[in-house]
Amino acid sequence: MIVGIDLGTTNSLISYFDGEKSVVIPNRLGKLLTPSAVSVDEEGTVYVGETAKERKLRFPGTTAEVFKRSMGTAKKFTLGEREFTAAELSSFVLKSLKEDAEAYLGETIEEAVVSVPAYFNDKQRKDTKKAGELAGFRVERIISEPTAAAVAYGLDKKDADTKFLVFDLGGGTFDVSILELFQNIMEVRAVAGDNFLGGEDFTEVLEQMFFREKEIDEDSLDAKQRAHVRKQAEICKMGFEEGKSSTFKCKIGEESYSYEISLEDYEKSCQVLLAKIRKPIERSLKDANVKLSDISEVILVGGATKLPIVRRFVSRLFGRIPNTNINPDEVVAYGAAIQAAMKERNEAVKEVILTDVCPFTLGTEVSITRSGGLHDSGHYLPMIERNSVIPVSHTERLYTVYENQSTIRVEILQGESRIARNNVYLGEIDVSVPMGPAGKEAVDVTYTYDVNSILEVIVKVVSTKLEKRVVIKNEETDMTDEEIDERLASLAALKIHPREQEENKLLLMRGDRMYEESVGEKRRIIEQRMNRFEEILDKQDRTVIEEERKDFREFLDAMEEEEE
């Protein structure tokens, strides 16, 4: 049997398809939700779920939570005298779910379909798969959480040419996906999100409101007291689901506190978080070239969508009541189980083709030629734009830049910045080319990205037919803190350049932001205009800079007005 797993930031679930429907399997405590918390005692015993959360109140230094946010990074979590990566901690949660499911079903389970946020990048997806393997699962399929929710709602059974928006706000991550159905194909048109925004942040708001109201210096509290305050804030947050106010009750030392918070005041304090939610929604609609009026249905997913202020916000934004027919905490697990049944070719499940998109732009570093024949390196050439339907392949021809150049290096990058070094380095390929005049030799660079989040890059020399290939699996390590500090120190030593003047810097930042928000031809137009402005800055003629700055600002204004 293949099971479905929702590996969440706050809670995790495991499910299976019983031949007719998805069933969430209760854990050893008889509950459907297993908190994504891990604790280790002095003897090396690992505790998962509610037991771990309980231990945190007494031994906060031995317990970890919200580690899903660190998937795909080199961050280590210290629990007592031991260190763990986010993938290792996640594997403990998955192993606990596996044991519960095997006890419930009375059979050994070897394979699982695991869900991830749609906005998870390659590193994070690989870490999720690694966590499953460490727990004893074979993980051949990763499904995005919004797609799983769509399957659970049976959206594949709706009328053709229907568009849906899945609003997924979990404990630690937020993503929004736009899906379109035609025939038996469920296509993800666009995804956007924030891997550091979720229910935990709404809990943090309540903590800060409590500290301000009671004039408590949070830095004066020890780890045990902070853990207690956090737990009470979570209880207070859940109280809003029942009424228009909730009471924050807390005991610190010998003193007991009680603070009644109205839903209205809480909503005012959450305006910054609600504003952060709006941006990914706008980006996904823009990338999918879809208007709000084109959306047939809005589906809420994730425990944080139970908050009245979130539901009100979504209702006002879309001008309709969102669909919450399935428990937002359980809907992804239901969909993962159906996907597992599809993989097993279960006859009770209608096969639906699920397409996905590449959530980040993939590209390479290139040099551009300035006026006067000067070469400016470090620019980003997008090869596969974000939200391209996968599998996808794209080829670009690149040329030598220097006289008698003997090697062409193709750096493989992931990200949205037009400056190559600001994107994530994935790998590189060096190929030898015959020496000759600049621009004579060329290579064809082909990027291919598939549904398993595997990137293949092929570099072929046009004249010699020499070909090199690499498959990116993202096994490299991130920069250490020391390397980051050294890099910052070296940058600080550079002299101030005209582009560092506040007004020039502001325009460049604005241009970078608009570049990252755009795709296709519009992105290329912005890049060309920014390159021109930077070229003027390099000349350091302040009179010319002032004139160009005015023109550049008007250009950016016009580009943004076109979007409105």
pLDDT band at 157 (very low <50, low <70, confident <90, very high): low
Question: What pLDDT sits at residue 348?
Answer: 59
Is the predicted pLDDT of residue 366 greater than 50, yes or no? yes
* 127 or 370, greater pLDDT: 127
Chain segment 491-511, per-residue pLDDT in tens:
333 233 343 465 787 788 788
Is the predicted pLDDT of residue 474 greater than 60, yes or no? no
Is the predicted pLDDT of residue 481 greater than 70, yes or no? no
Question: What pLDDT sits at residue 540?
Answer: 66
Is the predicted pLDDT of residue 562 greater than 80, yes or no? no
For the chain, the average pLDDT equals 86
**Which segment of 145-159, 163-177, 200-214, 225-239 scores lowest on mean pLDDT?**
145-159
440 as an active site residue: the answer is: no
* 484 or 543, greater pLDDT: 543
Q: Which helix (H) or strand (E) holds 74?
A: none
The reply to whether domains 2-197+272-358 and 360-478 share a CATH topology is no
Percent of the residues in the chain that have a pLDDT greater than 70, as a whole number? 89
SS3 content of the chain, % helix, strand, coil (to 5): 40, 30, 30
168 as an active site residue: the answer is: yes
The structural domains of the chain, with segments of one domain joined by +, span 2-197+272-358, 360-478, 480-564
* 36 or 562, greater pLDDT: 36
**Which segment of 119-128, 342-351, 361-370 scores lowest on mean pLDDT?**
342-351
Give the mean model confidence (pLDDT) for residues 25-54: 89
Chain segment 406-421, per-residue pLDDT in tens:
999 999 998 899 999 9
Q: Where are the beta strands (DSSP E) in 359-405?
A: 362-369, 375-384, 388-390, 392-399
Give the mean model confidence (pLDDT) for residues 137-143: 89
Question: What pLDDT sits at residue 195?
Answer: 82
Question: What pLDDT sits at residue 564?
Answer: 53
Is the predicted pLDDT of residue 182 greater than 80, yes or no? no
The verdict on domain 2-197+272-358 having CATH code 3.30.420.40 is yes
Half-sphere exposure of 449 (CA within 13 A, CB side): 25
Chain segment 523-535, per-residue pLDDT in tens:
999 999 999 998 8
Q: How far is CA 86 from CA 8, 61, 158, in A?
A: 12, 16, 38
Give the mean model confidence (pLDDT) for residues 163-178: 90
Is the predicted pLDDT of residue 200 greater than 90, yes or no? yes
* 57 or 351, greater pLDDT: 57
Chain segment 309-323, per-residue pLDDT in tens:
999 999 999 988 999
pLDDT band at 454 (very low <50, low <70, confident <90, very high): confident
Give the mean model confidence (pLDDT) for residues 66-83: 91
Tokens standing for residue 172: 């630690």
Chain segment 262-291, per-residue pLDDT in tens:
999 999 999 999 999 999 999 899 988 888
Please identify which of the residues 65, 100, 122, 145 carries the catalytic annotation. Answer: 145
Tokens standing for residue 527: 């890049």
pLDDT band at 552 (very low <50, low <70, confident <90, very high): very high
Please identify which of the residues 100, 122, 168, 516 carries the catalytic annotation. Answer: 168
Please identify which of the residues 6, 156, 441, 548 carries the catalytic annotation. Answer: 6
- The residue behind tokens 């190929």 is 431
Question: What pLDDT sits at residue 499?
Answer: 39
> Any bridge partners for residue 472, and if so which?
455
126 as an active site residue: the answer is: no
Is the predicted pLDDT of residue 156 greater than 60, yes or no? no
pTM: 0.68
Please identify which of the residues 68, 130, 306, 460 carries the catalytic annotation. Answer: 68
* 340 or 43, greater pLDDT: 340
SS (H, E, C) 463-501: CCCCEEEEEECCCCCCCCHHHHHHHHHHHHCCCCCHHHC
CA-CA distance, 504 to 546, in Å (whole number)? 9
The verdict on domain 360-478 having CATH code 2.60.34.10 is yes
Give the mean model confidence (pLDDT) for residues 173-201: 83
Is the predicted pLDDT of residue 117 greater than 70, yes or no? yes
Residue 373: CB atoms within 10 A of its CB come to 7
* 183 or 128, greater pLDDT: 128
127 as an active site residue: the answer is: no
Contacts for 488 with CB less than 8 Å, ≥ 6 apart: none
